[in-house]
A and B are shown apart, each in its own frame.
Chain A
Amino acid sequence: QVQLQESGPGLVKPSQTLSLTCTVSGGSISSGDYYWSWIRQHPGKGLEWIGYIYYSGSTYYNPSLKSRATISIDTSRNQFSLKLSSVTAADTAVYYCARDREGGGEDYWGQGTLVTVSS
């Protein structure tokens, strides 16, 4: 059974960089069948897709966040990561990592981690 787990600081100061890591277990992140996604949800609001990465390192971002978001992958550790720069209070959200099967949707999700941006 594939499992994903987000980790990283729960509190980030304004103007700093948010950094999260997703550890994948029960399957290889190097499988060419999947993309690896980051999605966030503002408190009490809907879902927002941030972007995804392929095992080769190819990335695709939501244009609304593209200038601030960077997704990277470490196949040796079976992990992928998100960095979001110049954060503001508007970036306070639950951040989810997920597995995306092309044409198959986000079929496995992490439990989510709340990141609060506050001084």
Chain B
Amino acid sequence: SYELTQPPSVSVSPGQTARITCSGDALPKQYAYWYQQKPGQAPVLVIYKDSERPSGIPERFSGSSSGTTVTLTISGVQAEDEADYYCQSADSSGTYVFGSGTKVTVL
């Protein structure tokens, strides 16, 4: 079955830049989406169509795509950004898949 690969964890100091990668063979042909999930809460969409930001999401969140890898970048990380982040995309048949998630720790 199709898999999206994310690093388990990323640590970053406040004010620095966090980059979270997501790799998958179908990513050149399928859009990627990114979600932020804090403990005990439902996920929140932070990036759609690889790089689009929903209204209400701070500008410090951005997305990019290159080949089989998409990247979520959090610029000027704040303590409130500490959370789990999941990428989502589809395989060649259109079945949605989530990545395994990356825990972002703000030092």
Contacts and interface: CB of A to CB of B under 8 A. Distances in A.
Contacts of B48: 103-105, 107
B88 interface: yes
Contacts of B73: none
Interface size class of A (residues with CB under 8 A): 10 to 19
A37 B33 CA distance: 15
B97 interface: yes
Contacts of B96: 37, 49, 62
Contact of B43 (A64, A104, A106): A106
A33 interface: no
Nearest to A112: B42
A63 B42 contact: no
B101 interface: yes
B97 A49 contact: yes
B42 A105 contact: no
B98 A111 contact: no
Interface in A35-52: 37, 46-49
Interface of A: 37, 46-49, 60, 62-64, 96, 103-107, 109-112
Interface of B: 1, 31, 33, 35, 41-45, 48-49, 54, 86, 88, 94-101
